[in-house]
Each structure stands twice: as C-alpha cells, then as structure tokens.
Amino acid sequence: MALLTVTALGSSGGAVAVVAPVSAAGTTLQSAQTVRPPAVSSDEYPMYPNSPNLDYTIGMAGTFRFLTYGTDTVAFAWRLGDDGPSGTVPAVDRLGYASITPVRAGLQTLYVRDMTADGAQLTETAYAFKVDDGPRLVDRGEDGATMVVGESRTVRLRPGRPDVVSYTYSLRDRVHKTYNTGTVAARPDGTADLTWTATHHEIDNLLVHSVSADGTVSASRYVSYSVDGAAPTVSRIPGVGWVEPTTFTARTRMANPVEYVVTVNSDENSRQILTPAADGSATFQLMPSVRGTHYINIFARDAAGVQTNSAIILWSVSNRPVVTSTDFPSNGVGRVWPGTFTFTAGMPGTTEFRYRINGAPSIAVPAGPDGTATVSWTPPTDGAHEVLLWSVTATGSTSDVTEHRFQLKRRLIALDHVTPGSVTTGEVHLLELTGYGMHKQDLIEVIPSDGKPVPAQVHHLTGGGAMMLVHADLTGVATGPATVRLTPHDELGSSVTWAGRFQIVAPPAPKATKLPAITGTVAVGSTVKASTGTWTPSATSYKYQWAANGTAIKGATSASLKITAALLGKKLTVTVTAIRTGHPNGKATSKATAAVAKGKAPKATKKPKISGTPKVGRKVKALVGTWSPKADSYKYEWRLNGKLIKGATGKTLKLTSKMRGKKLTVTVIARKAGHANGQATSAKVTVRR
C-alpha cells in the first residue's frame, strides 16, 4: 500500500494537497457504492441542453461546483472527456470547486466522482455542457428586429473563439432559400460591423460564422428578422363611367421610393413608371375604354432597385348613366309630391337619354353640352317605384341600363309594445302587438338576433288597428333579443319596427354525463380515436376538434387522429361538439393524454453494406441498406477492429496504410422525425494491401 498525493484548486483558489491510499498496482482502492454520485453545476458552462453562457468560450476558465451526498468524501476526482485534462479537488463541507478551461468547441462531458478517506473512487457523474464558439451579438436585442424591405441594418459582432479574422454570412428565408452571401473582415480584436440590406420581404434570418486565422469555421449564429414587404396602399376617387377618370393615390412604407410601377390587367403596354411626390406618394388617373372589372398591379422601388410587394386593386367600370334625386333617393323613401331626376352620362359622345318609369313606354330627352339632363315627375301613388335609364350616342351606340329604385310613404303606422317578454325556440307562439294604424293584411315579421326575419300569421285585429294577435313559428330561429317589424300591405318597402325587445331563449343544450375519451397508442406514427362520451339529451350528430397542449390542431376534425412528428412531446385532447336539431350545441373536452412519445425506431430489413475494394489507398462507400419505416436521413460511424475511427462520419472512407489488416465495419444510424434512432452494422471486411 502507498499514498498518492495530488494538488488541486481549493474553494478559495489556492492549491490543496489531498492524500489517498493506492494499491501496489497504482490504482485507487474502491469501496462499495453506498450513496448517489455527486451533483455538478456551473454558471459559466451550464448543463446541456440548457443554452450556453455566451460570455464564456474556448480558452476561458469556468468554475465547476461539486456537491457530495456522502458523509466520508474527502475529495472529488474529475476528468474532461477521455483525452482532456483531469484532477482532484478537496471536499470542504461537502463542496468542491474546480477551475477548468475548455480547449475546444462543441458538446463536452465532465466526469466527476467522490473520493473517500480510504481512497475509494465511487460512481462517476457525467455532466454534459456545450462550448459555443459562434459569433456574439454586441446588441442581443438585434435578434427578432423588424425591418421594412429596402432598409439597411448594421449588426455588430464580436468573436466567440480566438484569432478570428473574418465573418461569413448568408441571408435566408424560413425555408432556407439564400438571397445573399458575403464575407466581412474582422478588426484586430476580432470584432466586425456587418451591414446588410433587406432586398426581399421573404428574408427572415441572418446566419453568421466566424473564421479563424487557421481556417477554423465556428458554430453558426442565427439572427431572426421580420421584413415588412411594404406593398403600396391605394386610395381612389371614383370617376363617372368612361367620361371622367378615376384618380388613384399610392403610398408605401418603404423609405425613399424613387418610382412606382403600375400595370393594368397584366398588359405590359399599359405599364406606367411614376415618380413619387415629396411625401413619397404617387397619384395617377385611369379611364379604361372597356366596361367590366379591371385590376391594377402596383409596386414601388428604391434607388438600389429593391422593390416592395405588389398590391392588386380591383376596379369596376361601367358606361351606365347616373341617376340622382333628392326627392326620390335611390333605395330610399320619398313623399307623394312632385320632384326631379338628374341624369349624367357615363359614356363618351352621349347625345340623348332614354328612361322608363314603372314599366311605362320609354321617353327620350336630349343631353346638354355638359352631358346631363334634368326631368320632372309627379308620382301617381305611394309604394315602390323604378326608373330605368340608358344613354345613346349619335352613332346609335347604347349604354348599359341603370336601375333607380325608391319607395314612397303615405300611411302613418306605429308599433308600441309586444307581449310576452320571453319565448322559446322550437314552437309556435301567440304574440300581442299594440300600436296604431295596423291592418289585417299587413306583413308582420319577427326579427331574431341574426337578422333573418320570420313571417307571422295575423290571427285577430281589434281597436281600429290598435291591437293585433299573430302566430309566429320560432322553430330553428336564433336566440337572444328579438323585435317585430310591420310592413304595410299597400306600401311596399315601407315598414316600422318596434323599438323594444323581447327574448327568444334556447331549449337546453346537450350535456355530457360521461366525458369523451381518447384511446390508442399515444406515439408518433400511431392513430388514436375519440369516443363521443354520453350526452343528455342525446345528440343527433357530433363534431370533433383535436388539440395539442390546448392549441387546436388545424384540420384535425375527425373521430381519429394520425399522430405526426410535430406533436412529439405534446399532450392531446379532443373536444366533442354534440349537435341536436333545435337545440344549442353542447361541448365537452376529454382528459389530456400523456405527452406524445417517440415512434418506434426505423429497423433495417436489409443490413448496411460496405461497397468498394477494401485496399489501402482506395475509397469504400457505405450502402445504407433498407429500413422500415423509411428514414429521413442517415449518419455513419466507421470502426476498425470495433474501435470508432475519429472523424469518420461520412458516407465514404479512404483507407490508409494504418488500416491494413484490420477489420472494417460501418454502423448506419437511421433518423426519422419523431421516432427513436435506429442503427445497424455491416459485415466486417478486412483492409488489404
């Protein structure tokens, strides 16, 4: 037996000697494991998969804190990976501290075990952490910034590893389409200012790597953005038919536009290039010579040639003449009294107007020099009236017809009250109306909350039109506040509506006495089913809506659900809507499932194979074999005599002289979204001379 003395960093940073017995063979004696392994933590290098602390990177020492759960621990033994630094630190009040400096980037593992007074080293704790050497943002608020297309932005970068001489970057959209790439040189201190321009509205991220003097490329830094396409907004002042143009004014949120490009109906011959006014807007006029619906495509550009999204404006043009009248307003109510109509031409070259009132023979009236004419009319009666108007040119061309309809009112009527104050849907009710001027032939309608009128049948009229009884069938009508409308039988289009309200209430909705339930395997690739539960009163049909973590899954509205990879780790529920004719719908939601588990790993139905001549200097290739279910992607691990070849992760491998005579295999790892990884290993081949 001998004593091993090691020097380690104490809690105050000084060197502390730790003595532990060792055997003659030089290995530390071990005792039976009686307590759990030590806990490890670090503020500088947090445990993976927590986000790395970007204030620390390669070559920067971090403090790792060890906590023992044993009572006889005197020290902690640690090692960084299989080939990194190692050491021991004393345990003081069950705690130990080690200052460790990572020398490479990426995911790393620190192994820590207790050491007892008798020299035993117990079970190790594996503490994984990640060293991120990607570029840093000087302003972390840059991530998620909003821009307008054409806007330039300067991103200040600082290095995440030593000896950075430049930064490479690419501008991409959400599906990784690249719009621009470039390189910017670093200052002597490794910092740089990267200026870029949002040349397209689809750009939503900036991807940056640093490059060191020895050519080492760092991990990437992803910076997200939201780019406003700034499609122009267009307002317009309508013209009259084909004789007065419509005026359009376009504006864009893009800074300093130098031109607007306007095209009508995709006709390149109609293209106009407009120079903006000082306020950035552009005004233009259009007057097509063909009636119908037209569409305008418009976008803006800046001095660099960057253009906004296009705006498409629909615009209907007719050559119909216009009818105006203050005495007989269109779709309005007038008096039985003489009045006038004014006609305005909508077609160039109009010399005459022709009009017909209420189906009478047409009458011609000449158009004045300004393309207008005024006619007088005395209505013969109240009710609905219609003027049909068209225009004619000297060559005999006729315009489309304008229909001008209006109402004339004479009889005074009123509705003062309706009883009862509340009724239910699904049956016929007797309503009592009070007021004045009512007639047995008048149209009585109940207007529910959805505005869809329900005709009522007049049952009785008394008091010289002061009280009326009507029957109203309220089956299937909307619930909520309702009113009553009376339309006189001899004054079409004229009506009065009771100013008060009564309530239409619904019969009871179906209620779940037993909640819906989800059955089936809750894993990616599986299908689960929903039971409807039990309802009272019973439902006539059901609808379904599936949700993940409480958020509705788009399109998931059937009684079963095929679980996709996007649902991995989420808890599922289903909401069942019970439908019964004449009743409000009832709803109930199932209990949540356990979190969706990964699907079964892909399995090799045909093992991987090494293709090519296994001779020194040659390349061999891994054939992945056949997998079920089909994998999305593959990884490769090459081994010699069962030992992993460092860095050999490609599909091909070049054979070197050091491999001569050794047994070569390749392990293919099949990956599929939402599923566990599957793996299979090829047969061995011997590397020949």
Contact (Cβ atoms closer than 8 angstroms) between residue 446 and residue 476:
no
- Domain 511-589 architecture: Sandwich (2.60)
Q: What is the CATH number of domain 233-317?
A: 2.60.40.10
How far apart CA 227 and CA 207 sit, in angstroms, is: 16
Nearest to 180 by CA among 153, 198, 158: 198
123 compared with 46, residue with greater pLDDT: 46
Write out the E strands in 311-427: 311-317, 322-324, 333-334, 339-344, 350-357, 363-366, 372-377, 383-393, 402-408, 414-419, 422-424
- pLDDT at residue 65, rounded to an integer: 98
Tell me the pLDDT tens digit for each residue of 313-348: 988 777 889 999 999 998 888 877 789 999 998 888
Q: Which CATH number fits domain 322-406: 2.60.40.10, 1.20.140.10, 3.40.50.720, 3.40.50.1000?
A: 2.60.40.10
Contact (Cβ atoms closer than 8 angstroms) between residue 160 and residue 317:
no
Nearest to 290 by CA among 323, 241, 248, 244: 241
How far apart CA 227 and CA 466 sit, in angstroms, is: 67
Nearest to 454 by CA among 432, 483, 480: 483
DSSP assignment, residue 121?
B
Query: Does the pLDDT of residue 579 top 60, yes or no?
Result: yes
How far apart CA 539 and CA 579 sit, in angstroms, is: 5
Q: What is the CATH number of domain 2-131?
A: 2.60.40.1930
Q: Which two tokens stand for residue 366?
A: 């000449």
Domains 2-131 and 233-317 share a fold: yes
What percent of the chain has pLDDT above 70? 93
pTM for the whole structure: 0.46
Q: Which amino acid is at 526?
A: S
Assign domain 414-505 to a CATH class: mainly beta
Query: For the chain, which residues make up each domain, given as ranges?
Result: 2-131, 136-228, 233-317, 322-406, 414-505, 511-589, 603-686
Tell me the pLDDT tens digit for each residue of 266-280: 989 999 999 999 999
Lowest mean per-residue pLDDT among 28-32, 222-226, 306-310, 400-404: 28-32
Q: Which amino acid is at 39?
A: A
Which of helix, strand or coil describes residue 633?
Answer: strand
Q: What is the maximal distance between C-alpha atoms in the chain?
A: 130
- pLDDT at residue 494, rounded to an integer: 63
Contact (Cβ atoms closer than 8 angstroms) between residue 492 and residue 384:
yes
CATH fold, domain 603-686, is Immunoglobulin-like (2.60.40)
Section 302-310 average pLDDT: 95
Q: Which two tokens stand for residue 610?
A: 């090494």
Q: Which two tokens stand for residue 87?
A: 């050491």
How far apart CA 681 and CA 679 sit, in angstroms, is: 7
Would you report the helix, strand and coil content of the chain in percent, each value rounded to 5?
0, 50, 45
Tell me the pLDDT tens digit for each residue of 28-80: 333 444 578 999 999 999 999 999 999 999 999 999 999 999 889 999 999 99
Section 359-372 average pLDDT: 94
Q: Are strands 454-462 and 15-22 parallel, antiparallel or unpaired?
A: unpaired
Nearest to 196 by CA among 163, 167, 164: 167
Burial class of residue 544, CB neighbours in 10 A (0-12, 13-18, 19+): middle
Q: Are strands 221-228 and 145-148 parallel, antiparallel or unpaired?
A: parallel
- pLDDT at residue 119, rounded to an integer: 79
Q: Which amino acid is at 419?
A: T
Q: Which CATH number fits domain 136-228: 1.10.10.60, 2.60.40.1220, 2.120.10.30, 3.40.50.880?
A: 2.60.40.1220
Q: Are strands 643-644 and 633-640 parallel, antiparallel or unpaired?
A: antiparallel
